[in-house]
Chain A
Amino acid sequence: MRRLAVVLLVVLAAHPALAQGFLTPEGPVAAAQREHLIRVTMVTMIAVLPVLIGVPLILWRYRRGGRGAYRPGFDFSAPLEIAMWGVPAAIIVLLGTWLWQSTEALDPYEPLGTDPLQVQVIGLNWKWLFLYPDQGIASIGTLAIPAGRPVRLQLTTDTVMQSFMVPALAGQIYAMPGMVSDLNLMASRVGTLTGANTQFNGTGFAGQQVDVQVMTPDDWTAWVQGGTTAPSLDAARYARLGVAGTTAQALQALSLPDSRMHLTAPGLFASVVARYHDGAPLADRDQPGAPGFQPESTP
């Protein structure tokens, strides 16, 4: 127990960092997840505490030379058996019910409200590309969303498998080539958060972070407006993004002033998904993220 307390103290001491974790949630999903974590922990303690408290007591009381009664043949007790099987089973029934409810309630595929903001996410080595098809803009490494509005992310990758997570808003979901997964989230407050890829995908993995800007609706509209006048995300620029490298390297290679680009091809996301289903082999030089990728060869 003391060890646990020490750990808790250390955690509290490091508090500023919690701003990025789901223990200090910035949105309803993460808040519900934290709530669930606390509930589960508390209830499970019913099964855990007897061990943490009982073991030291037993070790002391029944030590050799100690005063506890010695019953070498004691090997069965019906009430004890019932408690040993019954209490954990009851806990699991309760936790199982909660698990069922929470998993359905927090299904990442479930929208968090009407009229969610649609964002398409493409995982690349080692950066995330966000497409706003309705607004006609794209953004590399920065996800800007208005506070208070539900957001629906649709994810895929144009390289290996990745996992997208913004801990303070919602949990993660895998993004896989040729497939689309969904993640619904919402931010309650204005602020700057960090997101990441949590699925190892090469040497640049640790740097594949996302700058999540939660803005007021007005600021966000202005941000979107600025994007429509940025350089456009044409095929050649998209191909250049496929070269393995960090967000900063990509911005530099495309000589972009900030993360925004103008999205002229609304079907980009669909075409990225479809490229793995066209029935033709994909040469190494056409595979973004691969060591043999040659962006200039892409049509």
Chain B
Amino acid sequence: MTANLHPGLNLGESHGAAHPASENRVFGFWVFLMSDLITFGILFATYAASGTPMGLAGGPGPAQLFDLTSVALQTAFLLASSLTCGMASLSMKAHAGAGRIALWLLVTALLGGGFLMLELSDFASMLAQGAGPARSGWLSGFFALVGLHGLHITAGLLWIGVLLGLLAVQGLSDRVKTRLLLFALYWHFLDLVWIGIFSIVFLRGLA
């Protein structure tokens, strides 16, 4: 049974040796994501614990600061990018060629970049209102949590750059296939974290 060596997208028989070779890496990356989830979990907890009058410290709160239109747009961008990232994976599984994969990755990067732009403009407008991380414990928690997610997205964009370079230089080698699998895991993971942020930070904040 080489078909289900690890959870997640399986390349299966069609990719021969690439599949068993990727087993350790994909499994290890899952373990890393579990660890990263703890990191996010602590920041979620810190954020949740600071949503008190003491944490707000007389500063602005969710109602004054959150722009739900922008957040909805960001969410749409990120969910769409998850879809396009999935398309890149499926293209690989279906042997659609490096060009097709690169195209989907590029679209993913554009959507991710759009998300980041919107997020940064939200941050900028908060800073302009004097609601930076130095204003209150609650805002510190907000910027750390949402900012860390943004940093992860930025790292993901750099990763897409590396993947595009690899596809150009090395083509669709077994190593590159494994890296594509890992990237897909990472990107979907960030999507999940964002859903947590969307629900706990934004929706609950405005509820």
Contact = CB atoms under 8 A, between A and B. Distances in A.
Interface stretch (B19-27, B43-51, B53-61, B96-104): B53-61
Nearest to B54: A277
Interface in A243-299: 277-281
A281 B133 CA distance: 13
Size class of A's contact patch? Answer: under 10
A270 to B, nearest CB: 15
A279 to B, nearest CB: 2
Q: Which of A178, A278, A279, A280 has the most CB of B within 10 A?
A: A279
Nearest to A178: B54
Contacts of B57: 277, 279
User: Chain A: interface secondary structure?
Assistant: loop
B54 A279 contact: no
Interface in A161-188: 178
A263 to B, nearest CB: 27
B5 to A, nearest CB: 34
B61 to A, nearest CB: 12
Nearest to A279: B58
A151 B55 CA distance: 32
B187 to A, nearest CB: 39
- By size class, the interface of chain B is under 10
A152 to B, nearest CB: 24
Contacts of A281: 134
Interface in B49-80: 54, 57-59
Nearest to A278: B58
Contacts of A178: 54
A278 to B, nearest CB: 7
Contacts of B58: 278-280
Contacts of B59: 279
B49 to A, nearest CB: 14
A280 B57 CA distance: 8
Contacts of A279: 57-59
Interface string A128-160: 000000000000000000000000000000000
Nearest to B56: A279
Nearest to A280: B58
A178 B137 CA distance: 14
Contacts of A278: 58
B73 to A, nearest CB: 32
A178 B134 CA distance: 18
Nearest to A179: B54
Nearest to B59: A279
A46 B129 CA distance: 66
A98 to B, nearest CB: 33
A6 B96 CA distance: 80
A30 B187 CA distance: 58
Interface string B101-139: 000000000000000000000000000000000100000
B31 to A, nearest CB: 31
Nearest to B58: A279
A278 B56 CA distance: 11
A265 B59 CA distance: 30
B132 to A, nearest CB: 12
Nearest to B136: A279
Contacts of A280: 58
B64 to A, nearest CB: 14
Contacts of B134: 281
Interface string B146-163: 000000000000000000
B109 to A, nearest CB: 40
B140 to A, nearest CB: 13
A257 to B, nearest CB: 41
B139 to A, nearest CB: 12
A279 B59 CA distance: 7
Given A178-B54, A277-B54, A279-B57, 6 more contacts: A277-B57, A278-B58, A279-B58, A279-B59, A280-B58, A281-B134
Interface of A: 178, 277-281
9 contacts: A178-B54, A277-B54, A277-B57, A278-B58, A279-B57, A279-B58, A279-B59, A280-B58, A281-B134
Those 3 A-B pairs whose CB atoms lie nearest each other, nearest first: A279-B58, A279-B57, A277-B54
